[in-house]
Amino acid sequence: MESITVSTVSLRLRQYWVLTKPRVSQLAVFCAVIGMFLATPAVPPWRTVVAATVGIWLLAAAAFAINCLIEEQVDARMVRTAHRPSARGDIGALQIIGMSGVVGGLGMLVLYTLVNPLTMWLTFATFVGYAIIYTVILKPRTPQNIVIGGLSGAMPPALGWAAVANNVPAEAWLLVLIIFIWTPPHFWALALYRTKDYENAGLPMLPVTHGQKLTRLHILLYSVALFATTVLPYVIRMSGLVYLVSAVVLGAVFVGYAWKLYRHYSDELARRLFRYSILYLSLLFAALLVDHWM
């Protein structure tokens, strides 16, 4: 009986963990941590880094759980998301709301008491932007959902910067701009090879409403814009040659993928661009950090 109980508890904890979209939240927290280290010429206080990381992750997890709850019926019609506990009905609405309330409330408490109120309010605004404005208002109504709603997903560097510096200068917003422009080509690459999923779910994603070719053109144009934007940290002397070389090389590969996708589409190529885009953002921000310390 004891092993069955332990197994049941373990399964339920894994289900709650899935609701937090761990891979997405890890990338968001990584970008926030980079923001923390870029906010000061010295190494930031470790207590602040740990508290801010935990608080930002908790609020991100709460937002993703609410997203899963709101989209449970949509997720159930998509192959990519049908396994989520919310879509399968394994975890009920009240349980998800309770979990999100506890986790999100704890995150706000950690940020307010151990970091600063500015970081708490900015992170809470990001929670509302993602869980409510993007998920409820934008995503089911406009093919530009990921463009407009991308601001909430682009906020982590500003949150991390605010945690250490207690302000958000232009340099932090430039990092936000980079992720903001990165988001559409990243997400549309996924939408291209998952178009049938979005058709079944009834979501007005760009490939569904305007077709594959226009989506591929948008990906290419945004990729070029991203390349230009990532050079700006060097232009404003926020970073040096190490970052510039990294941004140019990483950006050239990104644009190369987008160009190939535009000229000769295949699901496999769209998949490769989607996967590369995640690696791209991680390496780009890592290069910022390395350059900052050099």
| pLDDT per position as a tens digit, 179-214 | 999 999 999 999 999 999 888 888 889 999 999 999
What CA–CA distance (Å, rounded) separates 207 from 81?
Answer: 18
Ranges of each domain in the chain:
1-168, 171-294
- Average per-residue pLDDT in the chain? 92
Average confidence (pLDDT) over 61-69: 92
CA 234 to chain centre: 24
Contacts of 7 (CB under 8 A, 6+ apart): none
The CA distance from 234 to 99, in Å, is 43
pLDDT tens digits for 94-141? 999 999 999 999 999 999 999 999 999 999 999 988 888 888 888 888
pLDDT at 162: 97
Residue 246 pLDDT > 70? yes
Q: What is the CATH code of the structural domain delimited by 171-294?
A: 1.20.120
Q: Is the pTM of this model over 0.85?
A: yes
CATH number of 1-168: 1.10.357.140
Instruction: Write the pLDDT tens digit of every residue in 129-172.
Output: 888 888 888 888 888 888 887 888 899 999 999 999 999 999 99
| Alpha-carbon span 152 to 157, nearest angstrom | 11
Would you call 264 helix, strand, or coil by DSSP?
A: coil
- pLDDT tens, residue by residue, 70-85: 889 888 888 888 889 8
What token pair was written down for 19? 């609701």
Does an H or E element contain 195, and which? helix 195-201
What confidence category does residue 1 fall into, taking pLDDT thresholds of 50, 70 and 90?
Answer: very low
pLDDT single digits (tens) 39-56: 999 899 999 999 999 999
Same fold, 1-168 and 171-294: no
Distance CA 183, CA 149 (A): 10
pLDDT tens-digit map of 32-42: 999 999 999 98
pLDDT digits 0-9 by tens, 280-291:
999 999 999 999
